[in-house]
Amino acid sequence: MDTKIFKINETKELGSQLADAAGILQKGGLVAFPTETVYGLGGDAKNKDASKSIYAAKGRPSDNPLIVHIPDVAWLDEIVSEIPENAKKLADAFWPGPMTLIFKKNEVIPYETTGGLDTVAVRLPSHPVARALMEKSGVYIAAPSANTSGRPSPTKAKHVIEDLSGKIDAIIDGGEVNIGLESTIIDVTEEIPMILRPGYISLEDVEKVVGKAMYDPGIFSENKNVRPKAPGMRYRHYAPKGNLIVVDGEKAAVCDYINEQIAEAVSQGKKVAVLASNETADTYRNAKVYPIGSLENEEEIAHNLYDLLRRFDEEGMELIYSEAFETPHIGQAIMNRLLKAAGHQVVSV
Ligand code: TXA
Ligand code: MG
């Protein structure tokens, strides 16, 4: 399949630039598009064949449900059976934005889209291209992240092209995304809202709006019997081909430990990388250092993470040491992705 690339010109009116992409979605085709979190791979959420082709293009297990995107809360009524009070409050506070809510579904969205579940995940993104695409097409867009299953989510059109070129109808290149981590997922079907996937909107942010909220205990559990509620959180994800190890502890001790490990690995002829903050990048010797951003700027760290995870593969890194980035607001979300990428290999020094 020949994948069309539509490059957005920000100085021109959006609607007419999206006409072809909207037509593809209406006919059941697949279009990747930018959102403020990561690029999504879109198809018509009401069309079960479109959903099936999303799973096929990504190589995604069919029990892992898709997020349905809408451009306006008024679109919600048509696809959910109930809008709980907490959902209204959270939608008022954080939509449009990087938050996905889980609702009880009605019969409009097929089980092919929800991975067989009776609930449906819905997000109202703030990105102008995502919104204009839905307005123009009138399509409820089912969209997982636009990566091959298991790889880091795409934050640039280039990443989507790497993974999906030849497998989907079109890619809308709207430049780099803003946040760079997937949305916070919150289940509002129970009394106490539960965060199923951490993201830019933190537990504290949610509690300010609804009072009490909690994390899904399955996200942090090492116990295989306590499974995460979001099917996607159960799978291995983001891992580079090289061996990634996170080193946690006091700054000077982390630097010393990593430098010792580098010396040993280099003597064995290995290609070694270090994922470090801008502040500590200069303290490493004899390895390729990838500065991720300043510890004073956690948005920058989140924004660069997936691009760097992909670059380790491109540049053939065999062993990668990473500092831990437990920043105040989105550190929880950053560390959730980094630890998954490392297969939970952590050394505490
Ligand atoms: O920021 C985002 O959320 C991006 C952009 C494109 O919107 N999308 C995204 O989709 O990250 P995806 O498919 O990569 O991740 C969706 C996650 C998966 O972990 C899936 O299991 C979970 O949402 N999910 C979807 N529907 C669910 C449901 N009904 N109940 C529980 N978890 C659900
Ligand atoms: Mg994904």
Segment 163-172, tens digit of pLDDT: 999 999 999 9
What residues have CB less than 8 Å from 7, skipping those under 6 apart?
173
Ion ligand 2 nearby residues (CB, 5 A): 145
Compute the distance from residue 253 Cα to the ligand 2 centre, in Å. 34
Compute the distance from residue 125 Cα to the ligand 2 centre, in Å. 16
Compute the distance from residue 290 Cα to the ligand 2 centre, in Å. 24
Containing H/E element for 120? strand 119-123
What residues have CB less than 8 Å from 286, skipping those under 6 apart?
262, 263, 266, 272
Q: Which residue has the tokens 């957005």?
A: 8
Containing H/E element for 349? none
Q: What angle do CA 121, 125, 126 make, to 5 degrees?
A: 165
Write the pLDDT tens digit of every residue in 72-107. 999 999 999 999 999 999 999 999 999 999 999 999
Whether the pLDDT of residue 333 is over 90: the answer is: yes
Give me the percent of the chain exceeding a pLDDT of 90: 95
Distance, in Å, from the CA atom of 106 to the CA atom of 241, rounded to the nearest integer, reads 41
Q: What is the pTM of this model?
A: 0.97
Burial 77-102 (b: 16+ CB within 10 A, else e): eebbeebbebbebbbeebbbbbbbbb
Q: Under DSSP, is residue 38 helix (H, G, I), strand (E, B) or coil?
A: coil
Q: Residue 225 — pLDDT band, cuts 50, 70, 90?
A: confident
Mutate to test the pocket of ligand 1, among 67, 238, 336 (most ligand atoms within 8 A of CB): 67
For 182, 203, 275, the CA distances from 31, given in Å and listed in that order, are: 18, 32, 33
> Quick one: which of 270, 295, 267, 266 has its CA closest to 281?
295
Evaluate: CB of 67 within 6 angstroms of ligand 1. yes
Structural contact between residues 69 and 130, judged by C-beta atoms closer than 8 angstroms: yes
Distance, in Å, from the CA atom of 241 to the CA atom of 316, rounded to the nearest integer, reads 8
Note the pLDDT of residue 222.
Answer: 74
Evaluate: CB of 35 within 6 angstroms of ligand 1. yes
Distance, in Å, from the CA atom of 223 to the CA atom of 106, rounded to the nearest integer, reads 34
Q: Under DSSP, is residue 179 helix (H, G, I), strand (E, B) or coil?
A: coil
Mutate to test the pocket of ligand 1, among 70, 100, 113 (most ligand atoms within 8 A of CB): 100
Write the pLDDT tens digit of every residue in 177-198. 999 999 999 999 999 999 999 9
Whether the pLDDT of residue 217 is over 90: the answer is: yes
Q: Whose CA is nearest to atom 20 of ligand 1?
A: 232
> Quick one: which of 234, 22, 47 has its CA closest to 137?
22
Note the pLDDT of residue 223.
Answer: 76
> Quick one: which of 276, 255, 271 has its CA closest to 317?
271
Note the pLDDT of residue 226.
Answer: 87
